[in-house]
Homo-oligomer: A and B are copies of this chain.
Amino acid sequence: MNAINKMNARQLAISSRLCIGLDTELSKIPQYLLSDESPIVSFNQQIIEATSEFASAYKINTAFYEQYGVKGWEALTQTIESIPNDIITIADAKRADIGNTSSAYARAVFDDLHCDAITVNPYMGYDSLAPFLEREDRMVIVLALTSNPGSSDFQRLISQGKPIYQHVIETVLSWKRNASLGFVIGATHPGELALIRQYAHESVLLIPGIGAQGGDIDAIMKANANGPVFINVSRGIQYAGEGELFGEKAYEAAKYYKERIGYDT
């Protein structure tokens, strides 16, 4: 099953468009887990167990694992292995490099970590994304208009009457591909999202920035116009509770966000 079909099947089965971020840091998890062999894996497995009934996807940001070196990469691998097979796994890695190097990144994320999807950075152009785009069973999610303040620095520069992020979306849509295609659009830009849906009706959008970053769910769902979408919440679910109740609190937060996001077909 290719990634877009897997996404649709999962979202339909649980009526949820929620994506849950696993951006785990030792300084933020309950103290009593720190004596476990791998505290990060223990924490993540309990978060996954508590929230999986609401999760259409888990998004794992590689940075939080890389900071712990070899042990972190082990925890990354074990975390992805702990995710039920019918849930989409997104490596939020924001990779891209010249062609032969991107091929190695594609092997890392798709063949070694066995993720369904990866986020990639468009700055280096076609050949830097081709090794990802040629994989027919996977999903490639390209940064377009990100949720952070720095998205104004270069993504919004105007060229030929259009912002750079629109060039990125339109150009990537024109490229040959076998993979399912998506774009990252921050939840902090509902106005732009409505415009983007006019020329990217069918693309999957991965929308981070709800919760800790302040994005407005209602405005986003209206602007999305019922296109295929993952609405991501990371800190708002992972760190909803402290101490031994963290799993229960994560369950409640995931349930809340799943319902707030809604699911219309």
Q: Which positions 127-160 of chain A face chain B at CB distance < 8 Å?
A: 127-129, 143, 146-155, 157-160
Q: Can you tell how many copies of this chain the complex includes?
A: 2
A252 in contact (CB, < 8 A) = no
Is B164's CB under 8 angstroms from A148's CB?
Answer: no
Is A123's CB under 8 angstroms from B105's CB?
Answer: no
Q: Which positions 71-109 of chain A face chain B at CB distance < 8 Å?
A: 72-74, 77, 92, 94-99, 101-102, 104-105, 107-108
A68 to chain B, nearest CB (A): 7
- Interface size of A by Cβ–Cβ distance < 8 Å? 59
A167-B147 in contact given A69-B108, A105-B63, A121-B121 (Cβ < 8 Å): no
What CA separation (Å) do A66 and B68 show in the bound complex? 14
Instruction: Chain B residues near A74: list those with CB within 8 A.
Output: 70
State the main secondary structure of chain A at its contact with B. Answer: helix
A168 in contact (CB, < 8 A) = yes
A250 to chain B, nearest CB (A): 19
Q: Pick the contact of A105 from B66, B111, B124 — CB < 8 Å?
A: B66
Is A164's CB under 8 angstroms from B154's CB?
Answer: yes
| Chain A contact residues, CB within 8 Å of chain B | 23, 25, 61, 63-64, 66-70, 72-74, 77, 92, 94-99, 101-102, 104-105, 107-108, 111-113, 121-129, 143, 146-155, 157-160, 164, 167-168, 171, 213
